[in-house]
Each structure stands twice: as C-alpha cells, then as structure tokens.
Structure 1
Amino acid sequence: MLLVASVLVACAGCGLFSGGTVVSPAPPTDDEGKPLAESSPLPTATPDGVPLPADAVVVGALMATSGFLADFDEPALVAARNRIDALNEAGGLLGRPVVLRHIDSHTELSSMRNGADRLLLDGVDLVLMTCDAAYAAPALSVLEGAGTLVISPCGTDDAWITGELGQRVFSMATPVSTEAKLLISVLADRGFTSAAVVIDQTSSEAVAVCEAFARGFEASGGRVSGLYRYQPADPGLLEPILDGLGDAGTKSIVLCATRLVAPEEILAPIRAAGHLQPIVASSTMDGDHWIGKVRGIGDFTMLSYASVYTDSPDPSPEVRQVLADYLATTGHIARDGRAVTGADAVEAYIRAVERAGTLEPGAVAAQLERFDGEELIVGPITFGPDVHAAVDRPMRVITIEDPYARYDRTISP
C-alpha cells in the first residue's frame, strides 16, 4: 500500500493485539450498537519480553493495529496469524514451532526503526512488514543491513517490485501498475473507449492507480475525457467534476477513491446530479458497508482480492476458508478482500523454507525468486530476481446489485 493522507487519521479503527487476543474494528453499519459474535483467542501471539523457545522459528510482524494504517495492516495480520496457528497444529515448520512476535507500529514513523531493532534482538527469521512503503522505509534500512527476509502482505507501491526497498524484500499485494492494467481490461471487456477519471486525493494509492490507468488507457488507444481530483478540504472541486461528467463524450467513469470519502462526497452527488454512466472502481473501494450511503448507485464495478460477500462467496475454497477463519477469529467478516494477502504471505514463506530446507534468509529468498505461477491461496504468483511483487496476481471483479455486492469473475493481467 502507499501512504494514505493524514486526513484518515481521525477515523481509523484501533484494533489491538494483546495477550494473544485479536480485537479488530468491525465495519461501520447501521446497527452500530448491536453486539458482534464473540472473538476467539489466538495462542500464537507472544508478548514482548516473554522468552522464546530455543528452537522456535520466529516471525516478526511490524504492522499497525492502531492509527489509520490499521485499516490496511490488521486484516492481513489476522489472516497471517491464523495461518501460523494452523501450521503449528500441523507440527510447525521444519519440525519446529513457529512464534509470532508482533510490534504495533501505531502508524508512526518513529516506531519503525526501533521496532525493527527490537525484532532483530529476538532473532527473527522473517518480518511481516506494514503495507505502506513510506512507513516501512526506516525499518527496511535496518533489516536490509542485517540481511533479514521481509514480506509485506499488502504493499502495493511499485517500489516493492524491483528490489529498491531491499534485496530480500517481497510483497504479496497487487502493485498499482498491475491494478491499472486490470482496470483497462475491465473497460475493454465492456467496450468502453473513453472514460472520465475521478481521483480521491486522500489516498496516494488511489492517486497512483488512476494516474497509471490514465497513462496506460491512452497508450492503448483509449481517450480520457477528463481527469478530476477531489479533496474533502476543498469541496469546490466537486463542481468541475459534475460539470465534466455532463459532457456527452463521457461514456464511463473510472474511480480511484476511499470508502471513507467517496460514497457521500463524490458518488452520491454524481448520481444525484443524474450522471448515470457505468463506474469502474479500484480495489480501494472494495466492500459493501458503504453502499447504503449512495442512493441509486446504478452500474458499479470494482476490483477486489477476494469476494467477502456472504450471499456471493468467492469461488475458491481456499479463499473461503481464510475468510471463515477470519470471521471465527474476529467475530465479523473481513471488510474487504485484502485480508487474504496475510495468509498468502505465510504460505509463500512456508513453501520457500521447506524447499530450501533451511531458515537461512538468502536461501529462502532464492526459493521465493523461483516461484513461477506458484498456486497460492488467491491464485498464481510469479517472482524472479528482479520481480519481488505479485505483478501477475489475479483479481476479482465485483459488481453492485443495489444493495448487494456480488462476485462476477476473476481476471488476470
């Protein structure tokens, strides 16, 4: 993931990992006061300061469970912990128990370097890293110097691809450049040769995806009829968006936005003004708890890592199991499909270690680089010496049939 603007800080959920128990923020609903199902403990959490077994495989996690990045980091961390639980129940890794040592970054840059130092003192074999490359940077510089293997379950910045963040640094998420290609594919499938692009500036991931889309769409022969940017701090930016969408040449809309801002501040005004063009959205809009905020959502399609919708389950049994475990752990369904990347990160590590026959970071990284169409939970992943992110990760296409979101199909770059 890319750095999300500070406007999100005030509204982030602050789930906590403490004493082996997950308490994650539930999606906002109209039934805000109703109790959720009781959460279950996660025994693999090892509090800071507790001695580790001498033969343990130590997985460190430097991910936010408080502050605005918790909305992105914590779901992937929950899924990673569930996979570690299952691994221990099956006998561990190379016959050794796996211990997760989590340090909450609190979405604070100042916590990252110190957190990396603390994990190194624990002798970590793998570090699961926050989704945000900018927040990860101070920790990555420390871990790179120590030769530590790092996997971000959910880092989408293209910087994760090439190794510029570290030679033993990988990401399991779809890079923004790949997601932009998938958006172009969705428009092509619908026969759209022109599109207006609307960007919610509060998410730099959203900005990067739509800017990459606009460049790629025009390079492929499409026409961007207008590129519009919105900031909550400047509501005057809405008028030019509405005026531009009234252009007769605007046959479709590509939206890269956050669920926090877009439903009420962008989407609702667009539809209320009578602009009914089909909308194709990036995965930053994934989820259905916001749909009720937009009257007459109409023709709306978005990308997702997995279908979390109970009335339209994901076609993959493995994905459904990850989501079922997530529900059992937290007491609520995952708010979007990104949680599955946490399970994929641990699964990729397990396979690389087993093939290497050792925990030595260089040997494990070399095995990761040999992944060629490796079938993981969400789909095939290919890495290489110069490719350390999931550039070919398939994604789900989700359509809205008001008031429900439904799985439509899976597409690949």
Structure 2
Amino acid sequence: MRAPKARLARLVRLAVVVLLVCSGCGLFSQGTVVSRAPAADDADQQPQEASPIPIATPDGKPLPDDAIVIGALMASTGLLAVYDEPALVAARIRIDALNEAGGLLGRPVVLRLIDSHTEMSSIRNGAEQLLLDGVDMVLMTCDAAFAVPALDVLEGSGTLVISPCGTDDSWITGELGERVFSMATPAGTEAMILVELLADRGFGTAAVVIDRTSTEAVSVCEQFKREFESTGGRVVGFYRYHSSSPWLLDPILGGLADRNPEAIVFCGTRLVAPEILTPIRAAGIVQPIFANSTMDGDFWIGRVSGVGDFTMLSYASVFQDTPDPSPAVRELLAEYLAVTGHRANDGRVVTGADAIEAYARAVKRAGTTEPGAVAGELERFDGEELAAGPTTFGPGVHAAVGRPMRIITLQGPYARYQRILVPPSLSE
C-alpha cells in the first residue's frame, strides 16, 4: 500500500497545531561493536564469527579504514532501556545481515555504542565522543527529552540522526534538527487510530486514564482527547496517576463509577498499569479499555485479574498463535529469537531493523554516506515498504506520520493479533 505525501497533509497540520498548543537490563556494554565482516574475496580467509549475543569490544580497538561507522547513543540501562534495547538488538541483527551480504557500498559496517544510562549528562558526553569517533550516522534514544542534549551537540556538525523509536511529535517537523528522523509512529497518529477504534465500536463517550510515568503515553492521551472531541465524541473524565501518588487511585475509581463512560482509553506503562487496571476491574468497572502501543506485549496480563475487553496498538504481532501477517516481520522476529534466546516482548523491536534498513537504502540510492545526500534520499521515501509498514517522509516530515498499526486484542489471558488499521485520513 502506498501513502502519497499529499494525503499526509492533514496529519502534519495536526501535529504542528499540537506542538504549538502543548508545548529499561541490557545485552550491550559500552564500547565499539564490530559486526560480522563482509565475505572475503580470498576463499582461504575465514570470516569473522559474530557473537550469538552482541558484545562490545574494548574502546580503542582499530576499525577497518573503510568502515561505515554507525554510532548508537541509546539506553542499555536505566528507565529507557525497556524501549531502547530491543530496537538496538534488532539494529545489530540488520547490520550483521548487511555485512554478510558484502557490506554497504562494498564497505564493512560497524556499530559504535555508548550507553546513555538514561542520564542527560551521559547522553551529551556520548554525543561529543561519537563526533570524535567520526561516525557516519547516529542511532538516537527513543525519548526526545533525553535526546535533546545530544542533538544540540550533533546539529552543528550536520550529522545524520535516526531514532528507531522516537514517538514525540517533535520528531515530525524537523524541530529537533534538519537531519533528524524517527522510524516510530508519532503519538498523534496513535491518537487518531484510537479515535477510529472507538468509532468502529460506536462509542460516543470515553474516560481517559493516564499513567504519568511515560511522557509518550501522556502525549497520546492528551491528543486523543482533542481529536475525539473534534469528531463529536465526549470525554467525561480525564484522570492522571503516578505510582508515587497512590492516593490518586480513589478519584479515578469514583469518577469512572459515577460518570459511566462507554469506553476507557488508557495510556500507560506495562510496569505501572497493574496498579491501575487491577483496582478498576476489581471495582466492577467492566467497560472496554483501549490502549496505545506503550502497553503492547503480554507479560503484564497475568498481573491484572479479569482484564476483560482490552485492545491495544502495536507495530507487529509477537504472539506465536496469531503470527504477524508480514513475512518480513516474521523473519525479523525469528532472527531476534535466535540471537537473544527469547521472543521479543513487543512489536517495537521492528523499528530498530527499519532504522538500519532505511539508512542502507538511502545510502545506496545516494551512492555516498555524506549526511546531506542521505537525508535527501530519506525525504524521498513515499510509502516505502519497511517491516513496520509503508513509511513516508518529506521536507519537514521526518517521522512516519499516518502509518498503519496492528490491533491487538485480549481473549482470556492471551493477546492476539486482530487486524491492521489505517489512520482515517489515509483510508478516505
């Protein structure tokens, strides 16, 4: 399916308005990660073996003179590791595949990783180090607030930056830099899909419950409220919760019981969600719950007794009994399992592979790794078929606005793939 840029105009305008109105244990260690070398012309030369789990080599180890160096400034430790690390592992898998096929432009591709530790000071210092290392492109952490100190350092050098998983709408408009892109679906698009899901079920009223530990979740639900009301829906309650403020739960339970919405829209994290959802269901509040992609996965379900009618968004189905319809996604998930020894926790893993795949395609078309030329090729993506779905960029449109998402529903204790839903402005 193609997504012509003209059909994205409404979504981009919405994102600009929103920007004006409102304002995780790691596999990696710090160092230089060298992927498997391209196949040698000399048949007697033995290829370098890749580690079954990516492990960093010591800092300062010499790299091939002609190497294309991809820097990674992401969190393998700290709060953001749960989002950054799966994408980082998938990126490494894709780099290994590139090298097995002979590299990129006939050159080996290496990965220089600096763990941000989810710390502002570390991420800025890391960006300065990557510039000294002479990287050709930087993979950036998912959270825009943590990325800003690094982007401030990198912008002056003209470095190309791709976040595998940045969802904040500030990635859309070039606000974070002229050569800064994200492979994730923006929060505004997720909000529109949630509105469409409620419309499909005929729900005209909704209550919104937000887990404030996730800035992404907050953004999705805030934008859902605006979009839902703009289409004639009515938000009858808007509640915020934080695990550091458990007394906020009573007003949420009382408000839901008193106002009796047709549906509940929940934006939160999988770690905190049971603190909210368990009491909601225990109180006899049985309305259908709709959640954004920060709830994707099934490891939290057993912590919520009687979760009931629950629908969430995803980039890919990781559930073995209802596999993803995309062969590319199924292949990636199988590779991830082979490398890590466990299946992916959620569908966001595909964006790490997409970041490398998008970069490789743009480099091949440009015939160079020069950042400006590669950025120009990325801006020409128009319905580019990647694992997460058709992806369109353009001048000032540097995130996958309007990309379809998977709909995952819970049936008993199991999460199951249901369908792919196209945002309403693209399906008209």
* TM score, norm. by length of structure 1: 0.90
State the percentage of identical aligned residues. Answer: 72
Asked if 1:355 corresponds to 2:365, the answer is: yes
Q: Secondary structure at the match of 1:179?
A: helix
Asked if 1:307 corresponds to 2:332, the answer is: no
**Residue type at the aligned position of 1:306:** A
Q: Which residue of 2 aligns with 1:337?
A: 347
Q: Which residue of 2 aligns with 1:184?
A: 195
Q: Which residue of 2 aligns with 1:57?
A: 68
CA contact (8 A) 2:33 2:110 kept: no
Shift of 1:133: 0.9
Give 1:234's match in structure 2, choosing from 223, 242, 245.
Answer: 245
Shift of 1:46: 4.9
Give 2:281's match in structure 1, choosing from 268, 271, 280.
Answer: 271
* TM score, norm. by length of structure 2: 0.87
Distance 1:21 1:171 in 2: 22
Give 2:387's match in structure 1, choosing from 369, 373, 377.
Answer: 377
Give 2:154's match in structure 1, choosing from 129, 137, 143.
Answer: 143
CA contact (8 A) 2:27 2:53 kept: no
Q: Summarize deviations over 1:203-239 as a string: whole Å, max 9, x none.
A: 1111111011001100110010111111222222111
Q: Which residue of 2 aligns with 1:367?
A: 377
**Residue type at the aligned position of 2:145:** A
Shift of 1:13: 2.8
**Residue type at the aligned position of 1:40:** P
CA contact (8 A) 1:42 1:85 kept: no
Give 2:331's match in structure 1, choosing from 298, 313, 321.
Answer: 321
Q: Which residue of 2 aligns with 1:132?
A: 143
Matches within 5 A, 1:11-410: 12-17=24-29, 40-42=52-54, 45-247=56-258, 249-263=260-274, 265-410=275-420
CA contact (8 A) 1:46 1:101 kept: no
Distance 1:375 1:280 in 2: 27
More displaced stretch, 47-56 vs 163-172:
47-56
**Unpaired stretches in structure 2, ≥5 consecutive residues:** 1-23, 35-50, 424-428
CA contact (8 A) 2:142 2:167 kept: yes
More displaced stretch, 207-216 vs 228-237:
228-237
Shift of 1:361: 0.5
Over the aligned positions, Cα root-mean-square deviation in angstroms equals: 1.6
CA contact (8 A) 1:306 1:337 kept: yes
Distance 2:225 2:254 in 1: 20
Q: Summarize deviations over 1:350-374 as a string: whole Å, max 9, x none.
A: 1101111111100000000000111
CA contact (8 A) 2:70 2:139 kept: yes
**Residue type at the aligned position of 1:296:** G
Distance 1:231 1:56 in 2: 46
Shift of 1:249: 4.3
Distance 1:69 1:140 in 2: 17
Distance 2:396 2:32 in 1: 37
Distance 1:289 1:20 in 2: 32
Q: Secondary structure at the match of 1:367?
A: helix
CA contact (8 A) 1:14 1:67 kept: no
